[in-house]
Structure 1
Amino acid sequence: MAPFSLKEGKAPVGDGEVVLDTGLAARGGVGVGQRVRIATRSTPVEFQVVGLAALASGETLDRQSALFFSPRRAAGLDGKPGQAHAIGVLAAPGVSPDALADRVRAATGKDTVAVVTGVERSTVEFLDVSQTRTLLLAIAGSFGGFAILVAVFVVASTLALVVNQRRREFALLRAIAATPKQIRKLIGTETMLVAALAGLLGSGLGLVVGHGLRDAFGAIGVIPPDFELAISPIPLAAAFLLGLGAARLAAWSAARRPSSIRPVEALGEAAVERRELGRGRIVTGWVLVLLGLGGSLVPVFVRGEAALAASSMSALIVVIGLAVLGPRVIALTNRLIAPVLTRVSRISGYLAGANNQANSRRLAAAVTPVMLAVTFAISMFYSQTSAAAAKQEEAVQSTTADHVISSTTGALSPEVAQAVRRVPGVAAATSVVRTEVINTMQEQENLRVERYPAQGLTGDQVRGTLDLGVVSGRIDDLAGDTVAMSRSEAGWYDKKVGDEVEFWFGDGAPAKLRLVATYTRDQAFGEYVLPADLARAHTGDRMDDSVLVRQEPGADSAAVTAALHDLAARYPGLTVAPGSTVAAASDGQVKAQFYLNLVAVGVILGYVVISVANTLVMSTAQRSREFALLRLVGTSKRQVVRMMRLEALATVGVAAVLGTVVAGIPLVLLNIALRGTPLPSGPPAVFGGIIAGAVLLGLLSLGIATRMTLRARPIDAIGLRE
C-alpha cells in the first residue's frame, strides 16, 4: 500500500516489535535487534527493532518519519480499536483508478467515506495540505481584492497626472471639433494598448513572484515547505483581464474632465490650471472620508477579525476620499507650509511655495501615492501587532496559574495533568486543549462558514488557574456535553445559559451541547470553551497542548516546582515555566497571520513604491520649460535644485503627516477597544522606517528627475513642446 519495502529484518508481529524507516534509524543510531523507547499518548515504552524499511525509490523521507507496528499494537496506540484513519485500495490490472473510485463510492455511499485518487491522496496522509489549500484560497481572495483596489486607485492617480500634462493637446482637439466621446475613446484606447502590453509582461513576471511568495510562505510556516506551486493558464488569464479592467476603470475616471471641456473655453482652459473642484467630486470625497471615519468606530462595537478588517479598510477609504479632495486639501496645507518655505530660503522657498499653490492638482497627484503607501504600511503592520498584543495581554492578565507545563514536542499526554494533580502542594491542574469549532451563518442565498478558535478545559480544575471573566452561569459545570461561549458570540446567536448550542467540531463532527456559562475574555481564550475530554476526542492526536497548575496557599513553591520538573523523567520533552508565560489561544495563528500579512503588504508596497517613483518622476519631467524659463530670467541651477528639494520635502512631508493621521485614527480606536490604551503596540522603529523610506523615496525620485531635466541648455529646453 505504501512505497516501503524491508531492507533488513522482518515485519513486526508481536506487541513489542517495531520497524523503523532507514532515515530515522540512522539519525537515532540504532539497528535491527536493538531496543528503542517510543512515546505516543503515554509514558515511553520499550520496543525491539526487528526491521528497517525504506522507500522503493531509495529516497529518504523529508516531511516525516515512519514507524511500523503490528496491527493490534497500532490499534492500541491509536486508542480507537476497530477504526482506521484510511484504507488503501489497489486497482487490479486494467482498471483505472477513477473507475475504481466510482465503484467504491457506489458501494460505501458518498456520505460515508471520501474517496480520493491521484494527487488528492496527499490530503489524507498530510492534513496540512488540505488546510493549506483552504488558506491559500482565502489569501488569494483577500490579497487579490486589496491589490485590485490599490491598482485602480494608483493607476487612476497616475493617469490623471498624464491627462493633466496633456491638457493643451486635448483642449486643441476640442477646439477643432473633437467630441467628448472621441476624447474619452482616445484616452481609453491609449490606456488599453499600454495596459495590454503591461499585462502580458506582468503575467509572466507574476510567475516569478509566485515562486517567491511560495518560498516566503513556506519559510514562515504558513504552508508546508514542500508545497508545490501549481502552474496553470487560468490565473494568468484572470490577472490579465483584471488588469485590463482596472486600467479601463481608471481611464474612464481620468477622461471625464478633459472630455467635458467646452470648445469655446478650450484654449483658455489650457492656459491656466483649473483650481476649483466640481460639486459631485467634493460631495463624493467628503462622503468617503465620513464613511472611513465611521468604519474606524467598528472595533468599539465588534470584536475579532471583523474589527481588524474594518480598521484597515476604513483607513484606505479615508485615503481615497482625501485623494478625491486632493487639490483642496493640498491648497489648505500649502497655506501653512508656504510661509515656512519662504523663511527657509527667500528665493527657492518662495518659488517652491508659489509652485505648490499654483499647481495644486499636480502636487495632489504626487502626494496621493505616497500618502497611500504610508497609510497602508502603518495600518496593516500596527493593526496586527496591536491585535496580537491584546490577545497576549489578556491571556497573561487572566491566567492565575502559578506554572505552565508544556512540551518541546508540541503535545502533552493527558496523563500529565493527572500526574500533576497528585503532586503534593498542587491545588488544581487543568488540561488546555487547543482546537477550533465551525459554525455557519445564512446570508441571503449563501451559507457562510466561519472557523473560531476554541479550547478545552477541565471544568472542575479551572477555578484558580484561569479567570475567563464569567458573566453568567458556572464554568465549574463544564463537563460532559456542555460548552461555554463568549458573551458576544452567545448574544449573536441569541443563546442563554441552559440553551442548546449547535455547531461542528474541528474534525467535522456535529455538536449539540448545553450552554453552561458565558464569558468576556474571548480574545485570549476563543469564542468557545469545551470540556477537555470532549475537545480532545475531536482533535487529530487527542493530546493536550499545556497544563495550568495552581499551588495550594502556603505550599512550598520550590518543592512543588522541583516535583513538576521530576515529571520530565517520565514524560520526555516536558517543560515547566511561570504562569505569566502563558500564550493566548490563537498565539500561533496570530504569528502566522502577522508574517503572512507582512509578506502580502510587502508585495503591495513594492507595487506602490514603483508607482510613487513613477508619478514623482513624471511630475518633474514635464517641467523642463518651466526650469528653462527660471534660468533664463536669472535663477541659478543651484536655486532650481534647492527649490525642487524643498518641493520634495513639502510633498513627502504632507503625505507622511496625512498618512500617519489617517492610519492613526483607526489604530487609536482599535487599541482603545482592544487594549484600553490609545497607543498601538509594536516597535516604533518600524514607523520611523516607513516615514524615512517615504522621505528618501521622494527626495531621490524628484532629485534624480530634476538633475536629468536640468541637463539641457535653457535656450534649447524653452523651445520644446509640452
Structure 2
Amino acid sequence: MLSTLPLLRALLRGRWTGLVGSLVALCLGTVILSATALLLTSAGPRVPERYAATPLLVRSPGTAPAGEGLFAENRPWSPETVDSLVGALTSVPGVTAAVPDRAFYAQVVVGGRPAGAHEARGWSTAALAPYRLVAGRPPVRAGEVVLGRTLGLAPGSPVMLLTARGPAPYRVTGLTDGPGPYVSDGEAARLGGGVRVIGVLVEPRADLAGVRAAVGRAVRGAGPGAGAGQVLAGPDRAAAEPAADARTRWIGMQVLTAMALLGGFVSVFLVASTFAFRVNQRRREFGLLRAAGATPRQVRLIVYGEALAVGAVAATAGALLGVAVAPAVGGVLVTAGFEPKSFGVRFTPLPVAAAVAAGIAAGLLGALAASGRAARVRPLEALRDHAAGGTPMTRVRWIAGVVSVAGGLALAVASGSAREDSLVNDVLLAAMALIAGLTLLAPVVLPPLVRAFAWSFSRPAVGMLAGRSAMTAVRRTAATAAPVLLAVGFTVLVTGMVRTTAAAYTVEGAAGGGAAAVLVPDGAPGLSDAALAAAAGSAPLPTTVYDSVHGGRPLAALGDGHLAGDEMTVAEWAARDHGWRKGDVVPLAFEDGRTVRLRIRVVLRDAPAEVVIARDTVRAHDPSALTPEAYVSRPAGMVFPGAKTVSVADRAAGEQAEEDRLVWLFTLLLVGVSAGYAGLAIVNTQVMAASARVRDVAVLRLTGATPRQAIAATAAEAALVAGTGAVLGFAVAVPSLLGMRAGLAQMAGDAVPLVIPWPAVAAVVAACLIIATTSSTVFTLSPFLSMRCRKTRTRESKRSRNWPPTRADA
C-alpha cells in the first residue's frame, strides 16, 4: 500500500502549470462571488436623503403586492385625510411640526433641455432633510421657486419649469444647498398629487419612544382613511423609499444574482474540463500508480487533494480581491442605473466567508467526475500510448449528445408557437440543449468541419500539418473548440434575443399607424401634454389606480381620449381576479387620493392595460402623469421642450429608452463575463496541451521545418480549431433565434426582423481567435526557447573553461 500524502506531494511537484488555469478560474469566480455577495447584502433599502433629519415618518397604508418585478407606490391619502392627520399629529406633546410631503413632476429647463431633479416640492419639506436657504428668500406665492445652487442661477433670474402639462415661467427667489426645486406650499398643494408620507419633527429633548407611541395612537384615531398608517422610526424609515428606487434595486439584484450564478457555473465547468483533460493526459501515470499498488480510493483522493489545494488558495485570494473591488463595482452599478444613488457597500465578514466556502466547493465539485475517471484507470494503461487522446466517444456520451441536440431542435421549432410568457424560457432551453449536445458530440462533429476548413488551404505544408494535427488529436481539438462554442453561441443568442425583441415591440407599436417618427423624451422621464400637442401626436396616458374594495391593490391604468369621464374598459384577466362584470360600478382611488366611481363599459380579452379610463379623468387626478412615447406624423429631427422625434428604425434599435439601455448594459455585462471565462478556458487548454505539442514541434524541426514554419503550424491549428468552434456557436444560436422570431412575429401580427449585433459578435470571435493563436504559440514554443538558452549558456561556459584555446582546439 502506498501513502496518499507523499503521492500527492510528488504529483503536485512539477505539475503546477496544468493547475494554473483552474487556480485562475476559481480565483476569478471567487472574486465575482465575494464582490456580488457583499453587494447583495448591501442592496437593502436606505432611508431617503430627503427624510434624513426626520425622526418619525407616518406612511400611508401599504397595498397588496404588485407582482414580481412590478413596483407601485402605496395608496395616497386624500387632501381631507391629510388635513385630519396633520391636525391630530401637531396636537401630540413633543411634536413641533407635521409636514406633508407633497411632490409633483417639474424640471428646470437649462439651455433648452430639462436638467436636475425630476420632482418639485413645497418649501416646508426642505426641513425634513434638512436643507437650508443659502441665498435669497423662500417662495411664498405662485410663480416663485427656490433652486439648488449647483444650477448656477442667481436669485431674481427668470427660469422655465417643465411640468406634466408643459413649460411654465417662474422666478428664482432663493437658492438652497439641496437639490430643489421648491415652490410655495400652496402651489405644491394645488399641483401635487396625493400624500404618502408625513414627516413628524419633535423637540430636541423629547422621549422619542414615547412620542412615537403617542403618534401611533393619534394616527389610529384620526379617522378610517388614516387609521392604517404606519409610523416609522430609525432604520424602519427606509420603508419610505420611492418605488422607483425599489425597482432599481430589484434590477440590480437580478444583475448581481446573474453574475454570481454565471461565475459559479463557469468556475465549476472550467475546473471540471481542466481536471478531465488532466486525467486523460495522465492515464499512463495513474496506471503506473495502480501498478505500484495504489488503490482506486487513493487515486480519487489525489485528484480531490489537488482540487482542495487549488480551491483553498484561489478562494482565499479571490475573496480578498472581491472585497477590494466591491466598492468600484458598486459605483459602476450606480452609474449604469442598476442601483439607486443612495447605494453604498457595507462590509461584513459573513458574505466573504461564504464566498471562500463556495470557491472551495466549486473546486471539489469540478473534480468530482474526473476523480471517478481517474480511479477507473487500470494498471495496464501504463503500457498504452495516449498521445492522440484515446477513444473520445463513449456510449453514454453518444446517447446524451444525440438526445440533447434533438431536444434542442424540437424546442426551437416549438418556440415559434409558444406563448408570450414562456417564449424566452423555451428559447433559452433550446439553446442550452443545443450547446450541451454539440459539446458532447464535438469529437464527432469537429473532424469533418476541420477537414472542410483545412481543405481550403491544404496546399501549403503548414495548412496540411495544422489540419492533420487537429484531426488526429481529437480530444485536444474538442477541448479547445468547446469554450469558443460556448462564448460565441452565448453572445449570438443573448444579444440577438435582446435586439430582436426590441424590434418586435416597435413593429407591434407602429403596426397600422402610418407613423413617420416616434416622439421620445429628451432629458425628461416622459412627454408633457404640450410636447405631445406640438408634435400632433396622441398616446394613452399611463397612471396607477387603486381598488378601494380589495385592500387598495394597485392597477395599471391608461387614459384614453375615446372614453367618457365615468366609463372604463377592463381587461378580462383583471375582471376575473376582482370579480367584475360589464355594467358594474367600481370605486377606484387615484393618485391624488380621491375615489371616483366608474362604470365598466366593456370587458376585453386583449385590453392594453388592466384598466382603461378617460384621459381627462387621469389628468384631473394625476397632475404628474407623463406619456412614455408616441408615434407621430412629424418628421424625425424635430425638438420640443423635453422631447424630440426620432425615426422608427432608431427607436427599434433601442437607443432612446432607458429600459432598453439597462437591458443592453446587462446583456453586455453577461457577455463580457462569459467571454472572459471562455478566454481563460482557451488559455488553460493550451497550457495543458503544450506538452503534447512540444513533441509535435520537435518532430517538425527534425524533419527540416524552420522555426517560422513551426510557429505558423501551431498558430494555424489553433486558429482552425477556434474558427470551427465559432461556426458551431452560430449553429447553436441561430435555430433558437429563428424560433423566437417566429413567435414574436405571431404575437406582433407582422414580420419581425432578426437583429444580430454583429460588432459585439465579431469582437468576441476575434478575441477568441487571438487568444487561441497567441497562447498556443507561446506555451508550445517556450520550452524550445528555454532549451536554446540552456544550450547557449552551456557552450559559453565550455568556452570560458577552455580559454585560452589550445592547439588542438585551434
Common fold: TM-score over 0.5: yes
Gaps in structure 1 of 5+ consecutive residues: 55-60, 440-449, 461-475, 551-556, 718-722
2:366 aligns with 250
* Distance in 1 between residues matched to 2:715 and 2:171, nearest whole Å: 77
Contact 2:149 2:175 in 1 (8 A): no
Shift, 1:45, TM fit: 5.6
Q: Greater relative contact order: 1 or 2 (C-alpha under 8 angstroms, separation 6 or more)?
A: 2
2:768 aligns with 694
Q: Does 1:20 align with 2:131?
A: no
* Distance in 2 between residues matched to 1:376 and 1:85, nearest whole Å: 45
2:626 aligns with 543
* Distance in 2 between residues matched to 1:98 and 1:299, nearest whole Å: 59
Q: Does 1:344 align with 2:459?
A: yes
Gaps in structure 2 of 5+ consecutive residues: 1-127, 221-225, 548-552, 792-810
* Distance in 2 between residues matched to 1:506 and 1:141, nearest whole Å: 36
1:505-531 CA-to-partner distances (Å, cap 9, x unmatched) read 999x999996632349xxxx6788665
* Distance in 2 between residues matched to 1:368 and 1:506, nearest whole Å: 56
1:375 aligns with 489
Q: 1:491 to 1:321 in 2, by over 3 A?
A: farther
* Distance in 2 between residues matched to 1:516 and 1:271, nearest whole Å: 72
1:469 aligns with none
* Distance in 2 between residues matched to 1:225 and 1:194, nearest whole Å: 39
2:541 aligns with 433
1:4 aligns with 131
2:286 aligns with 170
Q: 1:538 to 1:280 in 2, by over 3 A?
A: farther
1:470-517 CA-to-partner distances (Å, cap 9, x unmatched) read xxxxxx7997343347xxx79999999959999x9999x999996632
Structure 1 stretch 358-367 or stretch 689-698: which is displaced more? 689-698
Contact 1:456 1:534 in 2 (8 A): no
Q: Does 1:458 align with 2:560?
A: yes
* Distance in 2 between residues matched to 1:369 and 1:200, nearest whole Å: 26
* Distance in 2 between residues matched to 1:262 and 1:499, nearest whole Å: 81
Contact 1:632 1:714 in 2 (8 A): no
* Identity score, percent: 28
Q: Does 1:67 align with 2:67?
A: no
For 1:620, give the aligned amino acid.
Answer: A
1:196 aligns with 312
1:655 aligns with 725
For 1:140, give the aligned amino acid.
Answer: L
* Distance in 1 between residues matched to 2:343 and 2:299, nearest whole Å: 50
| Secondary structure in structure 2 of the residue aligned to 1:711 | helix
1:175-232 CA-to-partner distances (Å, cap 9, x unmatched) read 2232222222211121121012111222232345544443443343333456333433
2:297 aligns with 181
* Distance in 2 between residues matched to 1:177 and 1:500, nearest whole Å: 86
Contact 1:456 1:533 in 2 (8 A): no
Contact 1:170 1:258 in 2 (8 A): yes
For 2:625, give the aligned amino acid.
Answer: R
* Distance in 1 between residues matched to 2:388 and 2:630, nearest whole Å: 74
Structure 1 stretch 306-315 or stretch 407-416: which is displaced more? 407-416
Q: Does 1:296 align with 2:422?
A: no
Q: Does 1:710 align with 2:792?
A: no
1:113 aligns with 229
Shift, 1:714, TM fit: 8.8
Contact 1:378 1:663 in 2 (8 A): yes
* Distance in 1 between residues matched to 2:687 and 2:403, nearest whole Å: 31
Contact 2:561 2:616 in 1 (8 A): no
For 1:345, give the aligned amino acid.
Answer: P
1:464 aligns with none
| Secondary structure in structure 1 of the residue aligned to 2:337 | coil
Q: 1:359 to 1:579 in 2, by over 3 A?
A: closer
Q: Does 1:281 align with 2:397?
A: yes
Shift, 1:50, TM fit: 5.0
Q: Does 1:149 align with 2:265?
A: yes
Shift, 1:78, TM fit: 0.8
* Distance in 1 between residues matched to 2:384 and 2:585, nearest whole Å: 71
For 1:6, give the aligned amino acid.
Answer: L
For 1:87, give the aligned amino acid.
Answer: I
Contact 1:404 1:579 in 2 (8 A): yes
Q: 1:539 to 1:345 in 2, by over 3 A?
A: farther
| Secondary structure in structure 2 of the residue aligned to 1:292 | helix
1:401-452 CA-to-partner distances (Å, cap 9, x unmatched) read 67866664444455877x78xx9xx8xx64433468999xxxxxxxxxx999
| Secondary structure in structure 2 of the residue aligned to 1:710 | helix
TM-score (norm 1): 0.75
* Distance in 2 between residues matched to 1:592 and 1:415, nearest whole Å: 28
Contact 1:456 1:536 in 2 (8 A): no
Q: 1:687 to 1:533 in 2, by over 3 A?
A: same
Q: 1:714 to 1:324 in 2, by over 3 A?
A: farther
Shift, 1:104, TM fit: 5.5
Contact 1:386 1:671 in 2 (8 A): yes
Q: Does 1:667 align with 2:737?
A: yes
1:35-64 CA-to-partner distances (Å, cap 9, x unmatched) read 65655454666666555443xxxxxx4xx4
Q: 1:193 to 1:20 in 2, by over 3 A?
A: same
Q: Does 1:480 align with 2:563?
A: no
1:529-576 CA-to-partner distances (Å, cap 9, x unmatched) read 6654677689793334456668xxxxxx99xx9xx99xx7xxx54667
* Distance in 1 between residues matched to 2:518 and 2:755, nearest whole Å: 25
Q: Does 1:87 align with 2:174?
A: no
Choose the corresponding residue for 2:437, options 321, 324, 334.
321
Matched residues, number: 643
Contact 1:536 1:544 in 2 (8 A): no
* Distance in 2 between residues matched to 1:630 and 1:480, nearest whole Å: 86
* Distance in 1 between residues matched to 2:590 and 2:499, nearest whole Å: 27
